[in-house]
Amino acid sequence: EKTNSYYPPDTIDYTIEEQRAIYDRMCREFFAGYPQGVTAETTGIADGIPIRIYRNAEPDNAAMVLYIHGGGFILGGLDSHDDVCAELCARTGFEVVSLDYRLV
């Protein structure tokens, strides 16, 4: 119900920019902070593509997770999926690298 409160019934008629603003605002409202022991660093790779690296204070170096958010090339970004990536890092101990990409 809380999620639905962010999306008026006519959202489908909104511009992409308006839909992104609604989605980003909703994600900020749901952000619960990082789990204990998880830190994040935002940096960039080739051509200035932003990435965010999540590290656990007690790392498990057996694997690394590359996280590429969904959203149909229209919605989403590093901030909208921040909680998900931090939780993945906390629960697995693996380093998580979240990759942003240009939206339509």
Tens digit of each residue's pLDDT (9 = 90 or more) over 37-90: 999 999 999 888 899 999 999 999 999 999 998 877 677 888 889 999 999 999
Q: Which helix (H) or strand (E) holds 66?
A: strand 64-68
Q: What is the pTM of this model?
A: 0.82
Beta bridge partners of 41: 53
Domain that holds residue 30: 2-99
Q: Do 79 and 86 form a contact (C-beta atoms < 8 A)?
A: no
Q: Is residue 104 part of a domain?
A: no
Three-state DSSP state, 29: helix
| Greater pLDDT, 23 or 92 | 92
Domain count, the chain: 1
Query: How many residues appear in the chain?
Result: 104
Sheet with 38-44, strands from edge to edge, namely 38-44, 50-56, 95-99, 64-68
